[in-house]
Structure 1
Amino acid sequence: MTSNFNPDGMLAAARDPAKGRFATLTFERDVAAPLSVLWQTWTAPAARAVWSAPTPSVIVEFLEADSGVGGREVSLCKVEGQPNIRCECGWLEWQPALRSVNYEVVSSEGVTQSTALVTADFSGTDERSRLVVTVQLSSLADGMEVGYRQGLDAGLDNLARAAKRTMVLQRVIQAPRTTVWNTWMNPEALPQWWGPDGFSCRTKRIDLRTDGEWVFDMIAPDGTVFPNHHLYTEVRPEERIGYTLLWGENGPKHADAWASFEDQNGATKVTLGMVFSTEAEFRQAKGFGAVELGLQTLGKLERFIKTRGNAAA
């Protein structure tokens, strides 16, 4: 683990432009998580926001995030008292659970400091996975190679830890993406199907938009009440939702979550991901059957669509 990342040194280097420098950097990580989970942790914007800051003293603010070939991600790396570092990432190749390729342009105060081509290769099984990241770096500022190596080393350590507490559920629903999206984002329909078999929802407030919220109780078949609070951080129509799960209204954070929607030959592949706040919470959730219960929830969504059709939308 690299805990000596020095943002001040990187920022100082960014203010000392020099002739171009070139380097090829390689990073490898063995991760105690399934390959499908590692891929989602690497690519899903909600997950990237969890692990991308190399140290707690660095704040990464995402201004734009569009996954997939042709998509772009723009973020600001902020350190108190220092100029912001801007990073623009563009996805060039996208082979799920196999490979991603992207360019990166790093700038400070409007001046480009480096460009890079980043190739990530994935391999693994249902138990463990491996990530190899190759960075072809061209820097215009002294010290960028060292800063890049330290920053990405620390970020990948964070990624490996985040993947160990990430849960990913997927289901192909036999309905068009528009129908699935509209059923999910309908404030009257969502409480009717959300939750595992036998559970019901009691809503206090619901506002399904970016910066909106859903405050509700999940009620188990035996009458046990589980207070929930979802804070919506991102809503991209028919593409994905990002939200934070709280333990009850304004309670402590339970997980950072997302749902994505992909066309699949007229059907819709739904991916539901959650990065739990701690490994202990992840283990506890897995222990009481969160995977099975989450898949039941997606099954209820499909049954609701089949029985209600477009009326829910």
Structure 2
Amino acid sequence: MSRFATLNFERQVAAPVATLWQAWTAPAARAVWAAPVPSVAVEFLEADTRVGGREVSLCKAEGQPVIRCECGWLELQPGQRSVNHEVVSSEGVARSAALVTADFLPDGVGSRLAVTVQLSSLEGDMEASYRQGFDAGLDNLAGVAGRTMVLERVIRAPRQVVWDAWMNPETLPQWWGPEGFSCRTKRIDLRTGGEWVFDMIGPDGTVFPNHHLYGEVRAEERLGYTLLWGENGPKHADAWAAFEEADGTTTVTLGMVFSTGAEFQQAKGFGAVELGLQTLGKLARFVGAE
């Protein structure tokens, strides 16, 4: 038995590099694809995706010890490379340590992901488990990236101003939605564990019931939420919004992982990209950036 191994994985992904990068790094997206199989539940205790930040997750399967993974981000070159270290433990015993390097390359209209894992088994032989876990996780990632939609807008306003416009229950309904749409709120509670139950009303009076469930709110940095078709209806996407400030401007990234590929294609078909960009444009106007 060797305590050390170098494992290499590669995937072709039917999504551009920028989208694959978001699926790889955004905590809301990672939570969707991280479980290797449906019988395993992954719970994120911490998620701070920046150099020096860490991620802590628990993998739970019925009848099995809980697996704890602590990840530290060492390098993040958006759309190019990420490097992280991780320690996997169970029942208080460290079982492995690894250095994970992921390289992102354009490949036609899609992309290619190459992952190298330098593994040290601390308790038993972990190579087979790592191969199985990474193979399954990267298959999941490729599927998630293929049904992920990412929108971005640079807003000429400080991050605090943009964040406050988004996270104020009085102002969010005033700008949310595409051009010509308005919001009719039933309940709104913009915090971790909170919700927003509302109707989107189209220019022709058509009512679209919505329900957002907020799983994470990290002040002035990001929020993660689930989109339901109407109050307590079926889920149709996991979403997040991230806010990055530079030189007095704020880059807002809005991401959505649709529940199925069919829903993703349907959303693209009715113009979700254009409508989403209109929404971010209304936010820019609301904070006086246009």
The TM-score normalised by the length of structure 1 is 0.91
Query: Runs of 4+ in structure 1 displaced over 2 angstroms?
Result: none
Question: Residue 178 in 1 paired to residue 160 in 2?
Answer: yes
The within-5 A match list for 1:95-174 is: 95-124=77-106, 127-174=109-156
User: Equivalent residue for 1:262?
Assistant: 244
Is the counterpart of residue 93 in structure 1 residue 75 in structure 2? Answer: yes
2:222 is aligned to: 240
SS at match of 1:254: strand
Letter paired with 1:140: L
Q: Is the 8 A contact 2:24 2:141 kept in 1?
A: yes
- The answer as to whether partners of 2:2 and 2:125 remain within 8 angstroms in 1 is no
Q: Which residue is equivalent to 1:208? A: 190
* SS of alignment partner, residue 287 of structure 2: helix
Aligned partners of 1:174, 1:125: CA distance in 2, in Å? 33
1:127: how far off? Answer: 2.0
Whole-Å separation in 1 of the counterparts to 2:118 and 2:231: 46
| Secondary structure class of the residue paired with 1:64 | strand
Residues 33 and 126, structure 1, Cα contact 8 Å, conserved in 2: no
Of the three residues 272, 284, 299, the one matched with 2:281 is 299
Q: Distance in 1 between matches of 2:155 and 2:237?
A: 25
2:176 alignment partner in structure 1: 194
Equivalent pair of 2:3/2:125 in contact (CA under 8 Å): no
SS at 2:3 equivalent: strand
- Give 1:7's aligned residue: none
User: 1:245-284, CA deviations, whole angstroms, 9 ceiling, x for partnerless residues?
Assistant: 0000000001000000001221000000000000000000
Shift of 1:125: 5.5
Name stretches of at least 5 consecutive residues in structure 2 with no aligned partner: none
8 Å Cα contact 2:34-2:42 kept in structure 1 = yes
Q: 2:61 — aligned with what?
A: 79
Residue 290 of structure 1, aligned match among 249, 272, 275: 272
User: How far apart are the structure 2 equivalents of 1:174 and 1:116?
Assistant: 41
Mapped partners of 1:103, 1:145: distance in 2: 16
Contact 1:35 1:126 (8 Å CA) reproduced: no
Q: Which amino acid aligns with 2:20?
A: L
The 3-state SS of whatever aligns with 1:76 is strand
Counterpart residue number, 2:15: 33
Q: Which residue of 2 aligns with 1:21?
A: 3
| Rounded Cα–Cα distance in structure 1 between residues aligned with 2:150 and 2:131 | 29
Inter-partner Cα distance in structure 1 for 2:54 and 2:109: 31
The 8 Å contact of residues 27 and 49 in structure 2, kept in 1 or not, is answered as yes
What are the ranges of 5 or more consecutive residues in structure 1 without an aligned counterpart?
Answer: 1-18
Give, as a single letter, the amino acid of the residue that structure 2 aligns with 1:250: N
Q: Which amino acid aligns with 2:286?
A: F
- Partner of residue 16, structure 1: none
Aligned residues: 290
Q: Distance in 2 between matches of 1:284 and 1:126?
A: 23
Is the Cα–Cα contact under 8 Å of residues 73 and 90 in structure 1 kept in the other structure? yes
**Are the counterparts in 1 of residues 228 and 234 from structure 2 also a CA contact under 8 Å?**
yes
Give me the whole-angstrom Cα distance separating, in 2, the residues matched to 1:120 and 1:266: 31
Query: Is the 8 Å Cα contact of residues 20 and 141 (structure 1) preserved in structure 2?
Result: no
Any idea what the Cα deviations from partners look like across 1:123-182, whole Å, max 9, x if unmatched? 116720010000000002223100000001000000000111000000000000000001
Secondary structure class of the residue paired with 1:192: helix
Letter in 2 for 1:73: E
